[in-house]
Amino acid sequence: MKKKALKAAFPYTIPIGIGFLFLGMSYGFMMQSKGFSVWYPFFMSMFIFAGSMEFVTANLLLSAFSPIAAFFLALVVNARHLFYGLSMLDKYKNTEWKKFYLIFGMCDESFTVNCTVTPPDDVDRGWFMFFVNLLNQIYWVLAATAGALLGYVIHFDTTGIEFVMTALFVVMFLNQWEEAKDHRPALTGLICSAVCLLLFGNNKFIVPAMILIILCFTAEHKYSKRPEVAAK
Amino acid sequence: MTMTTTQAVITIAAVVLGTMATRFIPFMIFPEGKNPPEFVQYLGTVLPYAAIGLLIIYCLKDVPSSSTHGLPEAIAIIFIVLLHKWKKSTLLSIGGGTILYMILVQTVFH
């Protein structure tokens, strides 16, 4: 049963593995170039396992010590997981002990596969989702560690390498833009955040931006009641 | 790094805690068989889009106060958009954009 699920899950993780290899190695390499030992990307990729937040944490570790701010920033940056969780409430039912790991390792990519792919009838869904998560996490941890190790061997001017994070989000934004019919949610996020950045400055804008975004969606939801859409 | 190892470990632990809170809270609030309210489900469909917009702005948060007026960032982002429209390859767009930016800040905007 396990072997079958692993075989069914593996092909879906190949493109993710290639992406993780590239991004994870850039992350590990960037950490090393900022002066962190290889253990940092190794443990951070294993325990945080949220790519964007790991890049952000590299910034945090280079700033003043402020664990409470770090906690809230993680909460806000990863708030999308709340909504992944809501979409997976049903799918994670009856997965026994695997449920803990399915929740722990619910990164964007694993969520995308587990949310959209229905495994063949003779494959156990719990184990299928478990292996999607596990394979993705193995790729990510290996790539981050390999990238950091590579940093010990290869030396070049790495100024500007942190832009890989910006590039990642811009491309994610473009991909979402392509697949969405309604562009208002994406624009709401962009515009509310930009306005708050100008109003509150670069250190204090994230929380106001998050509040403004929620307020916009609350208003939008109130004024365009479409009851039949609710049961999506 | 300016932090001590203990401070770094505490910071990483705080980030892990924050991240795990976002992953575990829905399953704790809505145990099996309980459905979230309609408004929460609506937020679930729109917030993932808004969050990426927020993250882009987070990456660009130091641009308003930068000495290059965001020019290298703007050039690299326009390049990414065009490259992505043309080739539609996620990795190529990220790699190409990052390399262009590194060249820009190391040479032209040095």
**C-beta atoms of A171 and B57 within 8 A:** no
**C-beta atoms of A106 and B23 within 8 A:** yes
Q: Write the pLDDT tens digit of every residue in A53-78.
A: 998 899 889 888 989 889 988 887 78
Q: How many residues does chain A have?
A: 232
**C-beta atoms of A193 and B57 within 8 A:** yes
Side chain identity at A32, as an amino acid letter?
Q
Q: Is the pTM for the entire model greater than 0.80? A: no
Picking from B92, B1, B64, B49, the residue whose alpha carbon sits closest to that of residue A168 is B92
Show residues of chain B in contact with A60, CB under 8 Å: 11, 15
Size of interface A-B (CB pairs under 8 A): 271
**C-beta atoms of B106 and A160 within 8 A:** yes
* ipTM of the complex, rounded to two decimals: 0.85
The four Cα atoms A47, A49, A52, A53 give a dihedral, to 10 degrees, of: -20
Q: Write the pLDDT tens digit of every residue in A126-180.
A: 999 999 999 999 999 999 999 999 999 988 888 888 888 888 889 889 988 998 8
Place of tokens 């990414």: B80
Q: Tell me how close the Cα of B103 comes to any Cα of chain A, in angstroms.
A: 8
